Each structure stands twice: as C-alpha cells, then as structure tokens.
Amino acid sequence: MQRRSITIIGGGFSGSMLAVQLARLAGQPFQCDVHLVEPRPAPGPGLAYTARRSEYLLNVPAKALSAFPEEPDHFQNWLRVTGADQDCQAGFCTRQSYGRYLQQLVGQVLEWPSMNGMNCQWHNSSAQSVEPNPDGPGAVVRLRNGQLIRSDLVVLALGNFPPAVPTPLPHDYLSHRGYHGSPWASGALSGIKPTDDVLLLGSGLTAVDVLLGLRADGHQGRLTVASQHGRWPAAAVPGAPSYPSFWATELAGLSSVGAVLQVVRQHVAAAQAQGLPWQPVLDSLRPDLPRIWAGWPLAEQSRFLRHLAGIWSVLRHRSPPGNAEIIGQLLASGRVQQLRGRAREIVSTDDDLLVTVSRAGHPDQQLTAQHVITCTGPLLDYRRIQEPLVVQLREAGQLVPDPLGLGMLTDADGALLDASSQASDILFTIGPSRRPAYFESTAVPELRAQAVTLARLLGQRLRQLEGAEV
Ligand SMILES: Cc1cc2nc3c(=O)[nH]c(=O)nc-3n(C[C@H](O)[C@H](O)[C@H](O)COP(=O)(O)OP(=O)(O)OC[C@H]3O[C@@H](n4cnc5c(N)ncnc54)[C@H](O)[C@@H]3O)c2cc1C
C-alpha cells in the first residue's frame, strides 16, 4: 500500500499541535508521513512565542494554557519539572517559556516514530505554492528550497501576519529606518536609542509589550501612543468566580448586535449588584461566541466590527495585572502621552518621521518622532496579504477571503471553500484564519481544540483513502 502524506504549512502553535494530535490518533496503524513546513529556526513557538524577552508575558495564567484540552495541568507540570516556573510572575509566565514548551512537545513527535505509524518530519523552509498533483489525486506543495512534497491532504496553519500598513498611499516611509512595521520581528526595538522620540500606533496588547520592552531597555525619550478609542487592555482578574452561561436562555436566536449587547449589559449590572467584576460575565460568553457570531447576518457582523470590535478587543484580550499596573503608572506620571485618532499620513525626512493623526470632528494633529511602531494587531485580511503562497492560492480561486477581512472562507471542519462555495477535499486550515466562522479563533483554548478535531477528521480521511485503495 502506498504511504499517504499530510503536509502542514506553518509550524507555530496551530501547525505544531496538529502534528502532535495526529501522532496521538488511536486505532489501526497509519501508513502516513506528516510533513511540517516552518521556516523559523525551530517549529513550535511560531510568531507569538519566539521573542526572547523576559518582559513579554503570556496574557492568561499558566493553568489555562495546557496544549491538551483533556490534560489541563500539562503546562503547569512542565513548568515545575523544568524549573521554568521561576520566570513566572503571579501565575503569568513568559512567552519564551511557552515557546520552549511547544518546541519540546513537537520535538518529541519529530524525533520518535509515533505509536500509530505516522512519521513526522520538519522541513526548514517556507511553502510557495500548492498545486494539483499532475500524476493523480492530491496536491503538490512546492517549497522555497525547491523541494516538492506530494500530499494527499494539506493544512494551512499560517497564523498571524504583521500589522497592516497604517496609512493610505504614499508609503515612501515603509523603508525608513525609524519605521517598524512588524513589532514582533526579532530585534524590532534594537535600533531605538534611549533618547529617541517614539510614537506607537495602537494601544492593545502589542503596545503594552513594546512599552514594557522600551522601559526595560532604559528608554528616556518622549513616548506617545495614538489610538482611535484611547483605551488600554483591561487587567486580568485571576481567581475571579465564574459566571453562569446565559446563552441558551437569553441569547440564542438574537440576530442583532444591539439585542445581544442589551442582554450582556443587564448581566454586567446584575453581576455588579452581587459584588462581582464584569470580567467573568464576558468570559462566560466565550464558549458561545461562535454561535452568537454565526447568528448575526453579515450586516450585523459588519456593524459589530465597525463599532464594537476595538472595545471588545481591549475588554476580552487582557493584560497580566502587573503589566496593566505599569501602564497605569506610565500614563499617570505623564511618561506616556496619548493621542486619540488614526495615522492619516506619515512623511519621512532624513532622521525623522512626521505623522498626521486624524480624528473625526477634530483638527488634525501632527507630531515628529524618530521611530514609529505599528501596534495595531495582526493582519488577517486575506484580500491584502501578499505572502507568495497566499497570492498563488487566492489567484487560483482555492483560497477565498471573507468579505469582512477576517480570514478565509471555510466549512465547519476548516475545509477551504472555493469560489463556488465548494468545500475542498484536500485543503484545510487551522488557527486565526478561521475567524470568519467563529470570530474568536485566536487564543490557545480555541486553537488546541481545533487541533484535536482537525486531527480526527484528517485521520478519518486517511482511512477513507486507504479503504478506497484496497
Ligand atoms: C505577539 C502575540 C502574543 C500572543 N500571546 C498570546 C497569549 O499569551 N495567549 C494566547 O492564548 N494567545 C496568544 N496569542 C494568540 C496566538 O494567535 C496564538 O496563541 C497562537 O500562537 C497562534 O499560533 P499559529 O500557529 O496559528 O500562528 P503563528 O504563531 O503566527 O505561526 C504561524 C507560522 O506559520 C509560518 N508560516 C507562515 N507562512 C508560511 C509559509 N508559506 N510556509 C511555511 N510556514 C509559514 C510562520 O513562520 C509562523 O511560524 C498571541 C499572538 C501574538 C501575535
């Protein structure tokens, strides 16, 4: 019998944990090779957990971050056994520790043949195209190093892309040494001198990281943060009691943003009347967010993105309490100045960048800085992503961006929908690219569950392919 093959493109959390879950599938042995394609120096950490800076913390406590949904203590046990818990502050550990954890988990799968017969190998390159197999079913994945991988099934686990360019054309400033378009790139802050003036665009978790990084580097220059809503991520409340779900009784069937908001507000008020913070009320919505999102027609989803997504993001994606406290101090002491509005134009001069910030109903504001750092969050609008693989699949009509710019169109299992809404038998995706289906498809709890269900589905597909061959 011919060996089957699955190619996973992208070896961050999503792709690596999919490989780990494939290796854990039970049942009759598989005759299958799993190819994990990742250009970084090691698979596992991906974009989020690569940065080697001790002040970059995970935004939820370690107890919520096991790689395995059915083994909730797994990460905490790993921290204890390896001694990496020394790096944690009040239950919040460093992202670099988490990267090492993931690297070790996927490393075991790469080093040892799995009990179920799957053989996983890492290709330290990037995928440039996925094309139909000219010699039969399946596809051929072409790597940047020239290698071709014949694949029965292909999974796109491409993750988060650097933030969108912040202004309309012209974009001459993109090549200026003081413009930092990718705050997560290695050494992103290294060219900033202690006395340089720095402008951050955006006030979410990335801006928090950048400010903590600059503070740790002894930065003394002027720090300004421009954002449309002017809010900062709320502080996490570890140990807050849970709040009961009210989806089935009050939210099911609500098809407008306004109706859902009204019910949620009532519950926040009820919680406050009982002396509870608002955070557990929002957290209780989390398992039901895909159903709430799917219950809204496109126009309502668009309304939510226009009016509430910015606020939702700072309420839902919280800072470790210690980080929130430092940001509060930086603001209160005037060390960090805030501007409301969005960058409309950036003009580069020899040493500086001149930025115009606009806000509806207010006069434009201009300021000069030696460095501008885009902290507006990952770009997931697949209409605009210029990665060669994404461009090739988009032009071939195999990857269809959603109309709201959140990710790719998929069916409920993560199979890509083509231009005629036909689900692919070959191409699947996992990770933030699935936001159009769920809205929240970003954090570890959602992604580890996707890895389990997608691994099972791919296992079934392999069995079907093997059955068809007998
Ligand atoms: C800075 C940051 C911090 C975060 N912190 C947290 C946190 O504390 N807690 C939490 O729950 N979530 C956090 N997240 C959310 C994050 O989305 C997930 O936790 C998770 O890391 C996503 O993993 P991923 O594999 O889908 O994406 P990524 O980590 O982006 O990995 C995708 C990988 O695909 C590779 N790739 C891309 N294109 C190709 C190609 N053509 N060929 C081959 N490989 C390719 C990239 O090199 C990359 O390594 C954070 C996100 C960011 C950006």
Q: How do residues 66-87 score in pLDDT, each as one tens digit?
A: 999 999 999 999 999 999 998 8
pLDDT score for 190: 83
Does the pLDDT at position 42 exceed 60?
Answer: yes
* Residues in CB range of 106: below 8 A, 6 or more apart: 11, 16, 17, 19, 20, 36, 43, 44
Which whole number is the average pLDDT over 408-424? Answer: 96
Which whole number is the average pLDDT over 354-378? Answer: 96
pLDDT score for 363: 96
pLDDT band for position 54 (cuts 50, 70, 90): confident
| Mean pLDDT of the residues in the chain | 94
pLDDT score for 470: 56
Which class is 172-234+318-374 in CATH? alpha beta
3-state secondary structure of 296: coil
pLDDT band for position 113 (cuts 50, 70, 90): confident
Burial annotation 276-301 (CB, 10 A radius, 16+ → b, else e): bbbbbbbebbeebbbebbebbeeebb
Q: Which residue has the higher pLDDT, 189 or 125?
A: 125
pLDDT score for 314: 87
Cα–Cα dist 455/440, whole Å = 20
Does the pLDDT at position 183 exceed 60?
Answer: yes
pLDDT score for 2: 79
Of 344, 352, 358, the C-alpha closest to 372 is: 352
Helical spans, DSSP H, in 70-146: 74-82, 95-111
Are 258 and 300 in contact, with CB atoms under 8 Å apart?
no
pLDDT digit string (tens) for 21-34? 999 999 888 999 99
The vertex-73 CA angle with 69 and 77, nearest 5°, equals 135
Which whole number is the average pLDDT over 325-333? Answer: 96
Cα 286 to middle of ligand 1, angstroms: 20
Cα 323 to middle of ligand 1, angstroms: 22
Which whole number is the average pLDDT over 198-224? Answer: 95
pLDDT score for 21: 98
Cα–Cα dist 4/220, whole Å = 58
- Tell me whether the CATH fold assigned to 4-161+380-469 matches the one assigned to 172-234+318-374: yes
Cα 97 to middle of ligand 1, angstroms: 15
Does the pLDDT at position 243 exceed 70?
Answer: yes
Does the pLDDT at position 99 exceed 80?
Answer: yes
pLDDT score for 311: 87
pLDDT score for 240: 85
pLDDT score for 403: 97
Cα 56 to middle of ligand 1, angstroms: 15
pLDDT score for 306: 94
Cα–Cα dist 409/371, whole Å = 37
* Residues in CB range of 248: below 8 A, 6 or more apart: none
Which among 17, 389, 444 is the best mutation to test ligand 1's pocket, defined by most ligand atoms within 8 Å of the CB? 444
High-pLDDT (> 90) share of the chain, %: 88
Domain ranges of the chain: 4-161+380-469, 172-234+318-374, 247-316
Bridge partners, 1 (sequence order): none
Ligand 1 pocket, CB under 6 A: 9-15, 37-40, 46-48, 58-60, 126-127, 157-160, 184, 378, 387, 389, 431-432, 442-444, 447
Q: Which atom of ligand 1 is nearest to the CA of 14?
A: 25
Q: Which atom of ligand 1 is nearest to the CA of 431?
A: 26
pLDDT digit string (tens) for 421-458? 999 999 999 999 999 999 999 999 999 999 999 999 99
pLDDT digit string (tens) for 153-176? 999 999 999 999 999 988 999 999
Which whole number is the average pLDDT over 191-212? Answer: 95
pLDDT score for 433: 98
Alpha-carbon distances of 83 from 80, 247, 436, rounded to whole Å: 5, 41, 39
pLDDT score for 239: 83
pLDDT band for position 64 (cuts 50, 70, 90): very high
CATH of domain 4-161+380-469: 3.50.50.60
Which whole number is the average pLDDT over 373-389? Answer: 96
pLDDT score for 1: 65
Which among 21, 37, 38, 182 is the best mutation to test ligand 1's pocket, defined by most ligand atoms within 8 Å of the CB? 38
Does the pLDDT at position 141 exceed 90?
Answer: yes
